[in-house]
Chain A
Amino acid sequence: MTDPVAPPERAVGPRIPERAEGESKGPVLELEDAALRVRGRTLFAGLDLQVHPGELIAILGPNGAGKTSLFRAILGLERLATGRVRVLGRPAQRGDHRIGYVPQQRVWGRGTPMIGRDLVTLGRTGARWGLPVTSREDREAVARAIWAVRAESLAARPMGDLSGGEQQRLRIAQAIVDEPSLLLLDEPLSSLDLGNQAEIIGLADRERERGAAVLFIAHDINPVLGHVDRVLYLAHGRHRLGTPGEVLTTESLTDLYGTRVDVLRFPDPATGVDRVFVAGAGNGHEHHLEQHADEVDRLERSE
């Protein structure tokens, strides 16, 4: 890379931690030559990705590029056209408790019959059949997860009364209640203010310190740029994988989009991490197409 302003080494956050003895040695997630097609449209193909414990990877790309579908494939909800997904050495399958998943933000309105603790408890026991009794062990796990996201004061409050940021913290508590090895966050920062964004990123960092691998779909890379190890950029059925300095360059993204794209970087003295702006990625026409494809995806999923 010849980019003169490649971002500096990450200023905060630990590197991949040393794995404890006896822990699984292999990668948390392996994608091998993975391809996903929806209605004849290729979302991505030939994707090879190995994610190790303690890694945080940001997934970027325009709407409809297949970011959420990639998560669904990892969760076993979507079948790959070709290739393989393995989670901790086993093929992806539905209901895998070693994966924590926070879907794209939904907001629970006033009057939702659920308090904060209920949402987290569903993550622990929600898939179990039989009499709805919660064991002490389950209650303790729920309390730990609530503590981990610093939401003790929200546990007894109605979900519908909480702000977007507060709901998001509880959703993360729900996802980590089984202490997953892999955490999938789908646009966890959307519609949050800066303070809440920092809080959510801090929680993702904590999970990574615990040894989980974190995949993070981001609409805007800047809030997480100082924390990510690698970036996966999906667009137009193709992808780029590498460090932010490798992927987020004019040459790399121009090649990926097949049209002129400018990547602008501004040094930010406050954090020591550059701010990155991508200009001209996809013109209006293409954007429209992507949104259309997005709608098709949604329709198919609801069937």
Chain B
Amino acid sequence: MSWDQFFDYSDYGHLLSLVANSVLACAILGIVGGLIGVFVVQRDMAFAVHGISELSFAGAAAALLIGVDVLLGSILGSVIAAAIIGLLGARARDRNSIVGVLMPFGLGLGILCLALYQGRSANKFGLLTGQIVSVGGDQLWSLAGVSAIVFIALLIVWRPLTFDSLDPEAAAARGVPGRRLSLLFMLLLGLMVAVAVQIIGALLVLALLVTPAAAASRVTHSATLVPILSMAFGLVSALGGILIAVGSTLPVSPFITTISFVIWLICRDVGRTRDIRRFRRAAEAHALEAA
């Protein structure tokens, strides 16, 4: 086996022009996924994201089976899951068990639909592990539209949502409607998961919706820098992934997940080194004070 059979960058420019839509879709997903990930991490909802993505997969598979728009089915599935988790799982422990119950159900339902589906089998696998060989023009517009809605809505609710995530009692006293806000957030999360399922697949959604934000919060604690870094990491992972994948016969997902994982590893190490230095300095200052 040689690498040449998987990679061929000889006609890269031409290839790139063929998949321009997919590249754009990846860039959008990287940025908006990185942004919403900040709240996923703050609100401790990584597992919920995974659960939503399995129901999103079921919705997409059902749409494929009955022949309607896959993104629509995907959105329907993930919004239903997000609503169930949001309404029943206000507390983290309840939420986790609800997600644990929903996830296999969604996955099973999706597998059933795919088993009944007679069409191209590449479509089947793609929903789980991602396969944006070519995003059509219409599809790009709907992905971009949904992402734009999520992005703008997040910016509008940014401060109350941050307040509610980090300091819920004080936020409630200041008039932040915590309950309604967290339901709205679940809805936005559902939309974003549906978009991500189209691109990197239901099983790998976390690589763009959690990993970049987790990496960012390892290197900085500033409420302003975390989202900026997270978006940058998401963009680098998604864009880097597709740019490598274009010249290869391999799917895009492993590149995206690997890049985002490596970024996380580096951030973790940088953060640790800095933590150690900071604690040492604090200890020295303390010793000086005592002397």
- CA separation between A95 and B171, bound complex, in Å? 9
Chain A, interface size: which category? 35 or more
Let me know if B173 and A113 touch, CB within 8 A. no
- CA separation between A129 and B181, bound complex, in Å? 11
Q: Of B163, B169, B173, which contacts A99 at CB under 8 A? A: B173
- Of all chain B residues, the one with the shortest Cβ separation from A93 is B175
Also in contact, A130 and B174, with CB within 8 A (given A113-B221, A113-B226, A303-B90): no
B72, chain A: closest CB distance, angstroms: 29
> What is the size, in residues, of chain B's interface with A at 8 Å between Cβ atoms?
32
Cβ of A35 < 8 Å from any Cβ of B? no
When distances are taken between beta carbons in the complex, the residues of chain A under 8 Å from B278 are 161
Let me know if A122 and B175 touch, CB within 8 A. no
- CA separation between A174 and B218, bound complex, in Å? 25
- CA separation between A99 and B173, bound complex, in Å? 9
Query: Interface code B205-239, partner A: CB below 8 Å = 1, 0 otherwise?
Result: 00000000000011011110010000000000000
Do most interface residues of chain A lie in helix, strand or loop, or is the interface mixed?
loop
Q: Which of A119-146 contact B (CB under 8 A)?
A: 119, 121-123, 125-132
Do most interface residues of chain B lie in helix, strand or loop, or is the interface mixed?
helix
Let me know if B173 and A101 touch, CB within 8 A. yes
- Of all chain A residues, the one with the shortest Cβ separation from B94 is A302
When distances are taken between beta carbons in the complex, the residues of chain B under 8 Å from A161 are 278, 282
Let me know if B223 and A101 touch, CB within 8 A. no
- CA separation between A113 and B39, bound complex, in Å? 10
- Of all chain A residues, the one with the shortest Cβ separation from B220 is A113
- Of all chain A residues, the one with the shortest Cβ separation from B216 is A113
Let me know if B223 and A123 touch, CB within 8 A. no
Let me know if B174 and A113 touch, CB within 8 A. no
Cβ of B24 < 8 Å from any Cβ of A? no
Q: Report the 7 A-B pairs with minimum CB-CB distance, sorted nearest first.
A: A95-B175, A126-B163, A158-B221, A103-B169, A118-B223, A132-B158, A101-B173
Please, could you name 13 A-B residue pairs with CB atoms under 8 Å apart, sorted by A? A94-B172, A94-B173, A94-B175, A96-B175, A99-B173, A113-B42, A122-B162, A126-B162, A129-B157, A129-B159, A129-B160, A132-B158, A302-B90
Query: A residues touching B (Cβ–Cβ < 8 Å)?
Result: 75, 77, 94-97, 99, 101-104, 106, 108, 111-115, 118-119, 121-123, 125-132, 158-161, 171, 174-175, 302-303
Query: B residues touching A (Cβ–Cβ < 8 Å)?
Result: 38, 41-42, 90-91, 155-160, 162-163, 166-167, 169-176, 217-218, 220-223, 226, 278, 282
Q: A102-B170, A122-B159, A132-B162 are in contact. List 10 more A-B contacts (CB 8 A).
A: A94-B175, A103-B169, A106-B169, A108-B166, A115-B222, A118-B222, A118-B223, A128-B160, A129-B156, A158-B221
